[in-house]
Amino acid sequence: MANVTVIGAQWGDEGKGKVVDWLSSRADVVVRFQGGHNAGHTLVVGNQTYKLSLLPSGLVRGKLGVIGNGVVIDPEALLAEIARVRAQGLTVTPETLRIADNAVLILPVHGAIDRAREAARGAHRIGTTGRGIGPAYEDKVARRAIRVCDLAEPETLSHKLDELLLHHNTLLHGLGAETFEKQALLDRLLALAPDILPYAEPVWERLDDLRRAGKRILFEGAQAVMLDVDHGTYPFVTSSNTVAATAASGAGIAPSAIGFVLGIAKAYTTRVGSGPFPTELTDDIGKLLGERGHEFGTVTGRPRRCGWFDAVLVRQAVKVGGVQGLVLTKLDVLDGLAELKVCTGYRIDGELVKRLPAAMGAQARAEPVYEVMEGWSGSTRGARSWAELPAQAVKYVKRVEELVEAQVTLLSTSPERDDTILVHDPFEG
């Protein structure tokens, strides 16, 4: 049996939470391998809705959850999330959740510098959540980060805070923002240590043992390929690599162990925040997609920008992200539309191109070239087999497969976990 890695194939918010939750019934452990609490997964289970940012979605199924070293962790946000889901009836203990002891912590100073920079950018804002994810990753590569394991060594923590604050307070002062006092921050972290450290361990050892024992591991990505710091619409991206290859380095496991790669894409396209969006619709249809799809960010609450399905973007994500099978979500949002459009290319300065260019200016000038398709009058909502879908809806899905050069492995037809059409079990490889 293969392991499975799930990543987004657009700009995030594709419904990964439901898909990972659905797949968790076939897995033994679920691993988060990158991102921070700027990502959000919404899981609908009966009359209960769970909104997760750091916790692996498998916890809802009672499966072991692992937060890998590639994740940056705000300890206060994590503890608040644990308390929230416990109040909803979930069991989260050191027996059900493990955290990489070498994962980097997000501190209050990171959020402060994140927000101060965004304010200074003015009209050129990137659209960050202001939660400190980017500055925490910067500290990681600059080798001044505070890690989970440092909470167990007060002297180490004190020394590392000196270096970290020397850097960040200088920036904050230059941006006209309030600086941070070391002792207050040290006391704050030491007070959190007893609540965080029981979850900490070298998770790479546990994952190796699980792999050798033949257990099924599900790797859960945050954000999506088009927000990848290398392959996305830079600089309007997140601060980590979101492609499937990151599951290996972000969890501490062999690249060969990440298994079958599933890419998640909506049957249309959405984006939160700033940045290029060639197929964006600002008309009544765009508004309709947003209303039907309840398109608001799980973490930020910001309304998502909506547009037609962009096959160029998803095909690119399939290739650079290593996607072997596609999950198409929210097909039901397109029900009843007389006409549908799919982007098959862009015109940039009069030239037809079949890829999203790397240059920021060229991305902004990309004009979509559409293929027009007939819509369907019947309903796809809640369908659990191909036979329940209108013929034109099946035709739409098949055309998407051709354009993105990937087979649809799963089809989601509502937020409910069981309203899913299984074409191929990814755990079978």
Which CATH number goes with the domain that contains 315? 3.90.170.10
Largest CA distance in the chain: 67
Same structural domain for residues 113 and 162? yes
pLDDT (average), residues 121-126: 81
Clarify whether residues 204 and 87 are in a common domain.
yes
Residue-averaged pLDDT of the chain: 93
Q: Render 93-124 in DSSP notation, one character per residue.
A: STTTEEEETTPEEP-HHHHHHHHHHHHHHGGG
* pLDDT tens-place string over residues 376-419: 998 999 999 999 999 999 999 999 999 999 999 999 988 877 88
Question: Does residue 299 register a pLDDT over 80?
Answer: no
Percentage with pLDDT > 90 across the chain: 79
Going by pLDDT thresholds of 50, 70 and 90, the confidence category of residue 17 is confident
Band of the pLDDT at 47, cuts 50, 70, 90?
confident
Same domain, 165 and 124: yes
Cα separation, 420 vs 15, whole angstroms: 12
**Do residues 132 and 205 share a domain?**
no
CATH number of the domain where residue 37 is located: 3.40.440.10
Q: How far apart are CA 141 and CA 201, in angstroms?
A: 22
pLDDT in tens, 173-199: 999 999 999 999 999 999 999 999 999
Q: Are residues 17 and 143 in the same domain?
A: no
From 162, 196, 230, give the residue that closes a domain: 196
Structural domain total, the chain: 3
Do 302 and 422 fall into the same domain?
yes
Element (DSSP H or E) covering residue 351: strand 351-353
Residue 134 pLDDT greater than 70, yes or no: yes
Q: Can 41 be counted among the known catalytic residues? A: yes
- Domain boundary (148, 163, 196) is at 196
pLDDT, average across residues 210-236: 94
Which among 41, 110, 168, 231 is annotated as catalytic?
Answer: 41
Q: Select which of 13, 74, 139, 332 is catalytic.
A: 13
Domain that holds residue 312: 265-428
Q: Which residue spans within 122-256 are E strands per DSSP?
A: 200-201, 217-220
Write the pLDDT tens digit of every residue in 276-297: 999 999 999 999 999 999 898 6
For residue 300, is pLDDT > 90? Answer: no
- The pLDDT, as a whole number, for residue 272 is 87
- Whole-angstrom distance, CA of residue 401 vs CA of residue 325: 10
Q: pTM of the entire structure?
A: 0.93
204 and 117: one domain? no
CA distance readout (Å), 230 to 73, 94, 160, 166, 288 = 22, 35, 29, 29, 33
pLDDT at 269: 97
Identify the pLDDT of residue 123.
Answer: 80
Q: Is residue 151 located within the same domain as residue 286? A: no
> Smallest Cα–Cα separation from 263: which of 5, 2, 1?
5
State the pLDDT at residue 279.
97
Average pLDDT (133-155) is 96
Same domain, yes or no, for 177 and 95? Answer: no
* 168, 208: one domain: no
Name the residue among 59, 67, 65, 63 with its Cα closest to residue 89: 59
pLDDT confidence of residue 259: 95
The tens digit of pLDDT for each residue in 360-380 reads 999 999 999 999 999 999 899
Contact 355, 312 (CB under 8 A): yes
